[in-house]
Every structure is written in C-alpha cells, then in structure tokens.
Structure 1
Amino acid sequence: MDIENIVSKDVWAVIKDNYEKGSYTIAVTNLIQYANEIVREKSGLSLDNTKLMDAAFLGQNPKLKINKFQTETEKDIQAGVGYLLKGLCLAVRNPRAHERYNDKKETVDKIILFIDYVLEFVRNSKQPALVEDWLEFVFDENFNNTKKYAEIVLQEIPEKKRYELLVNIFRYRERAKQNLLNNMVNELMNTIKPEELIEFLDNLNKELLYCSDNNSLRMFLSLFPPEKWECLIPLTKLKIEYMVQKSLEQGMMFCLYDDGEEQYIINSEGALSVWAINFMKYFDTKEKVYKILENKLSNKDVDVRNFTIKYFGEIIYDYELINNGFFKSGIKRSLEYFDKETYDNIDFYCNTVEDKELEVIFGIELEIAKDHFAVNMD
C-alpha cells in the first residue's frame, strides 16, 4: 500500500522522514502529537492529550464545534470525534510514551489512515480558529457592531489570539467597514494582558505620529473606541486633533446634478472631521472645536452651514452644551438665516421643554424665524 498517495498532504509531511526510514512507531506518535497541535490551534486551548479532547469536543458547550451542533445526529458526531481522538491518546499515544514499542508497517498504516480520517472532521470545522479566520469574520460587512455582540464574539476568541487579532485589525484597517468594529476593538483592548495593551498602544502611537494620510487616519478613527482617547499620548492626540480642526474649518457641502436631481456631497477636505464626530467630546482641544462649529454655523454661506448642521447637529444642538453657552452666537445667526433644523431644535427646547433661560437668549430670533416659516408655509 502506497500510503503517501492516500493520506492528506499535511499528514504525510509529518510522518514522511520517519516512515521512509522505517521508524514507524515514531512516525505514528508524531502524528498523534500533530493531531493535538491542530486541535489546540483550532480550539485556542492550552491543554494536551485527553484533557484537551474533553474540553475541545465534549460536553454541552464544546470549545471546538465540528458542525452546527444542533440536531442529535450532529451532537453524536461531535461527541464521537472527541471520543475517537481521546481514544487515540489513551490506546496509541500513551502506551508508546511509557513503554518501548516496535510497530510493524502494517499496524502503523492502519493507525495513520484512521487518524487521517478523524482529522478530516477537525479540518472541516467552520469555526474561526486562526487569527486570519477571525480577521475575515470581524471584517465581514454584516458584523454586528453592538457591545453585546462584541462580548459574545469575544468569548469565542481564544485569549492567546486576542492581541494578535487586535494588531491585525489595525494593520489591515483599510478593509474594515466604517464604524463597524469599535465595540469589538474596545472589548479586545479591555481583555488583553496589560503588557500587551502597553505594547499595542506604543506601536499605535508611533504609527500615528508619522501618519499624514487622511484615509488611513479616517480608518483609525472608525476602529478606535472614542472612550479610549485618553490612552493615546498627548503628542499623538494633539496632532490628530489639529488635523481634525483643519478639516473641520475647510468642510462644506456642494451640489451635484445627477440626471437632473440635486445631490449634496461633502468636500474631500472636510471628510476627516466627519469621521471624528464621536471623538470630539473627548478631545483635549474640544472647546476650540466647538468654537469652529459656532463660526461655521454663523457663516453666511449656506453650504457651510448645511455641512455643519447635517453632520454635527448632535453636537451643536446638544441640550447641555447649549445651556453652557456653547454655540449661542452661531445658533442666533443660524436662526436669522432661517435654518429650519436650528429653528426646530430651539423651538423644542423653548416651547416644549419650556427652558426659560433659552427663551430669554433666543426668544427674539425664534419669533422672527417662526413668523418667517408661517408666511412661507402659507
């Protein structure tokens, strides 16, 4: 029997040297060790031998599922493969580890073929195992970006793979979809070892200090959790905050006509600032950002105001920020320009929430705008 042409290529690669020179017992014990390594790699477990097979395949929630694990048949196959591999450890590996064996070729051929058969179930497991598998999983456009989902996914990622996965998410961040992974990244940062987090942030800071590519920086902002902004060193933060301020100052909308229909597009200079919206309240220079927003809301150019209102409305109409005096001048000018969204928000605070202080501040401009919209509606 020419076993080389029967077994899988990886199995033959493991046994080839010893098998060809007649060291059959060593060949088969090496193969069982290889089977252990595959199961460890795919399950993320650090166990060995029978304990590994128990944790990986058996029980109500096995670490390495080789099928959907839903029907009784699927559960039976799952358990069967676990017991077969456990049996190989007990009946083949352990005796040869404790006693001297001199297996014949015919005996070893049968064992090798059997191991190759059982390993096929493990190889065909669809469960992400390698870091590359997990990377494909989280980069999928349908990945659910909620904190709860991130927590569930994290439970399935072996601890020893989390740091490498985090690094690779940022290394290949251009492949990620906008704002789909910041919860996942946050969970990974929270659960890796402290020394790993220090190393990750150190390397990230070094990269960001020399990053002048807006596209790469936008993808960083899309992935990095805003609440972790303080983890960056001051020099990195100030550099990025300055780039965002510059983008914000230049940002505006412009109109394109597509088949006769108006389509408003953001200019390329302002794109970076839009990606940074969720970070602005964590910026060390946030008051400077607020001042830029106030100035843009006061701008006589409607395309500048539309850009500000459309993309930064959740900031400029934030009740707490308005009450603290931010954007007061800009909102007054916006009301004078009869910007409808500004009117609707201030009218809500003054007449529905009945904030008397805001009524005093914006009352005159609000009444003028109210009359304007009443006339134009008629």
Structure 2
Amino acid sequence: MDLKVNIQRDLWEAIEKNYENESYSSAILDTIHVLTDTIRNKTGLEGDGASLIGQAFSGDNPKIQINKLQTESEKNIQRGMQELLRGLYTAIRNPRSHDKHSDSKAEADAIIYFIDYLLKIINKSRMNFEEATFLNRIFEKYYVKTAEYSKLLVDEIPIRQRTGIAIAVILQRKKGDIYNLGYFIEALFDKLEDIEIFQVYKVISEELKYTDSDESIRTILHIAPAKYWSKVDKVVKIRIENLLFENVKSGKYDTSNKKCRFGSLGTWIKTEHLLNFEHINQWTTMIVDKLRNGDVEEKAYIQTYLWNIICEANKENINYSLKYYFSEGLKNENKEIVGKLEFQIMFEEHHPWWKVFEEELKKYPEILNTQFL
C-alpha cells in the first residue's frame, strides 16, 4: 500500500523529505509533530506531550470532544482516545527524541497510518470554542457594557485564536454596537502580545488605506485602543490624520439645537490619539486659533469636543500657541480664559502648568490657594 496516496496530503507533505530519504524514525517524529500542532491549533493550548493531551481531552467539558459524551460508551471512547494519545508520546515519540532509533519502513508505515487515523478523528471532533458562535455573543444586543464582562469573555478564547478573533471583530465592526465592541477589544488587547497587536494593526491599516467613509474611520477610532494609534502604517496614519485635521478645522456646533453641524468625525478623537499624531503642534495651533478667532459655532465646537483633550495632550509639554493663549488671558484678566486654566489645574497639586504660569498666577491668590487644598 502506497503511504503517499493513502494518508492526508498535509501529513504527507510534512513527512515526505525524511520518508523519501529513508529516515523513517525522523518521519515518525514529523508525524507526531503534525499531531501536536493540530491539537494546539484546534484548542489554542501551548502545552506538549502528555500534558497537552490532558488539557485538550480530559475533564467533563474537554476542549476537544470526540463525541457527544452523553453515554457511558461515549465517555469511554473519549478516555480511550486520551490514553492512546498519551501513549503515543510516551512510547513512540519520547524514545525517538531522546535515544538513537532506527525504524524500518514497515514500522514507520504502521505508526504513520495509525496517527493519520487519529488525526482524522481529531479533525472531525467538536470544539468547545467555535469562532462563529463566540462572535455571535460579541455582536448580540444583550452584551453587557462592562470591563468585567468583557474580560470574562476574552478569557474563554484559546490563546492561539485571540488574534483571529480581534481581526474578525475589526472586519465585522459595522454590524455591531461600537460601544460594546470597544469594551471587548480593549479587554482583548490586554491579552495580546506585541506581535499579535502588530498583526491586527496590519488589518486596521488596510481598512483605512483608501477609505474616506466617516463610518469606517469613526468605528476604528472608537474600537481600536487609541494608545496603539502609532502602530497604523505610517503612510496610512498620515493620510487619516490629515483627513481628521480638515474635518476638525471645519467643525461647527449649534448650541441652540445641541448638534454638531460640521466636523462630526473629529469628535471621535481621544487624547491618546492626539499624543500619537505626527504633528501635535499643528493640531494645537489650529484648535487654539479656532477658539480665539472662530465664530460662535466654531468656538462651541472646540469647547464641546476638543478643548479638554487638547489641554491633556499638552499637559507635559505645552505648545507655544496654547501657552500664549493662557498667558494673555491671565494678563488681561479675561475671566473666561482664567476660568479655563483654573479648571485644568485646580484638582492636581503637581500639574506642570502651575510652574508654567507661576508668574501670571501671582495675580490670582484665590487660584493659588486651591493648589494646597
């Protein structure tokens, strides 16, 4: 019987080189390596050998279920599969990994055929974690908007499948509640490694690469954690930031109707976005100029949506235009500007701006006194 045509193609491709070179013991090890990877990929587990088998197949609710586990016979089959797989590592793999071994072609064929049979059973088995079923829970209307609920959901995802789930949510974001998705993605990113976050942001960059759709950009701005904005491909990042800049520049807010008339996309920008923007000084200058020289609706737009975040973004290293805005206001005793500065610093004894405006604030003992309350 020709092994090549009677086992699964993926398995043959993995063992072909050693098998054709008559390195039969190595071909057997290649086969068990495929078995290990199959179990890891199916479960998301990172273990090896008997430990991996125990994690994947044992317990009342195993990660891999060979059958429905309803009858005693079905439970026995599950246990038997677990014992067979443990035995493969103990009796077949370990001796060949640790000692010199020389298997014949007949011995290799018998072992490889048997592992191929086990792989077919595993490939047909049920998984406790099914991506489509899990995603339905993320997009359902009864999602609980809390960090705790989101963390508990994330804990259910097998480690190896976390990146795939993050990408699936990003790609399907328009069909869900972005506030729910924001909670979920934040909890999920806390579990991802740097390389996994990089992979997700490659997808995000592709999503943003050509779009000028407010919905496409808005949903990304809200769902993807702002602190990782710098991970967007630079050419895409610069383009989107320019688009946002022009959007904010046109922004107007109708105070009588309490509606944003222009610049709605810019209202989704967060402090951490600004901190990761390429040209934070240009942003600060534009926003301050809009506040100083704009019409009523332009000033209202900045005050309503961007004032606090631009101040926060300039907290540690204040831009000249914003510093000048406050300095002139303090010197001229402009009550509105004085009030704005007081609001920014009064709750933080060590806010950097106490030092920045130390001289000007000497005229305002009532504000200085709040520093020591």
The normalised TM-score by structure 1 is 0.57
- Bigger CA drift: 168-177 or 320-329? 320-329
Q: Output the aligned Cα RMSD.
A: 4.7
Q: 1:270 to 1:88 in 2, by over 3 A?
A: same
Opposite residue 358 of structure 1, the aligned amino acid is F
Opposite residue 299 of structure 2, the aligned amino acid is R
Name the structure 1 match of 2:307: 313
Opposite residue 323 of structure 2, the aligned amino acid is K
> Any unmatched runs of 5+ in structure 2?
1-38, 85-124, 366-373
CA contact (8 A) 1:322 1:328 kept: no
Paired with 2:203 and 2:335, the residues of 1 have a C-alpha distance of: 45
Paired with 1:347 and 1:201, the residues of 2 have a C-alpha distance of: 39
Q: Which string of whole-angstrom CA distances, capped at 9 and with x for unpartnered residues, describes residues 22-54 of structure 1?
A: xxxxxxxxxxxxxxxxx9999656999x98896
Q: Is residue 2:190 matched to residue 1:187?
A: yes
- Bigger CA drift: 218-227 or 316-325? 316-325
Q: Which string of whole-angstrom CA distances, capped at 9 and with x for unpartnered residues, describes residues 245-290 of structure 1?
A: 01110111014xxxxxx431112x3111111223111111111111
Q: Is residue 2:76 matched to residue 1:87?
A: yes
1:241 to partner: Cα distance: 0.5
CA contact (8 A) 1:245 1:289 kept: yes
Opposite residue 225 of structure 1, the aligned amino acid is P
1:356 to partner: Cα distance: 6.4
1:220 to partner: Cα distance: 1.1
CA contact (8 A) 1:182 1:223 kept: yes
CA contact (8 A) 1:290 1:327 kept: yes
Paired with 1:91 and 1:356, the residues of 2 have a C-alpha distance of: 73
Name the structure 1 match of 2:342: 347
Q: Which string of whole-angstrom CA distances, capped at 9 and with x for unpartnered residues, describes residues 148-174 of structure 1?
A: 665543331012322321221111111
Q: Which string of whole-angstrom CA distances, capped at 9 and with x for unpartnered residues, describes residues 279-314 of structure 1?
A: 111111111111111112213422211211121232
Alignment of 1:114-263 (within 5 A): 129-140=129-140, 142-144=143-145, 146=147, 150-176=150-176, 177-178=178-179, 179-187=182-190, 190-191=192-193, 194=195, 199-255=199-255, 262-263=256-257
Count of matched residue positions in the alignment of Structure 1 and Structure 2: 275
Name the structure 2 match of 1:271: 264
Q: Classify the secondary structure of the residue corresponding to 1:320.
A: coil
Q: Which string of whole-angstrom CA distances, capped at 9 and with x for unpartnered residues, describes residues 201-252 of structure 1?
A: 4343233221111111111111222222222221011001101101110111
Opposite residue 273 of structure 1, the aligned amino acid is G
Alignment of 1:39-78 (within 5 A): 55=55
CA contact (8 A) 2:53 2:82 kept: no
Paired with 2:316 and 2:82, the residues of 1 have a C-alpha distance of: 69
CA contact (8 A) 1:185 1:225 kept: no
Paired with 2:290 and 2:53, the residues of 1 have a C-alpha distance of: 63
CA contact (8 A) 2:284 2:319 kept: no
> Any unmatched runs of 5+ in structure 1?
1-38, 67-79, 96-121, 256-261, 368-378
Name the structure 2 match of 1:286: 280
**Share of identical aligned residues, percent?**
19
The normalised TM-score by structure 2 is 0.57
Q: Is residue 2:312 matched to residue 1:327?
A: no
Paired with 2:249 and 2:70, the residues of 1 have a C-alpha distance of: 63
CA contact (8 A) 1:294 1:329 kept: no
Paired with 1:301 and 1:225, the residues of 2 have a C-alpha distance of: 33
Paired with 1:271 and 1:225, the residues of 2 have a C-alpha distance of: 20
Paired with 1:83 and 1:361, the residues of 2 have a C-alpha distance of: 83
Paired with 2:78 and 2:310, the residues of 1 have a C-alpha distance of: 66
Paired with 1:337 and 1:58, the residues of 2 have a C-alpha distance of: 74
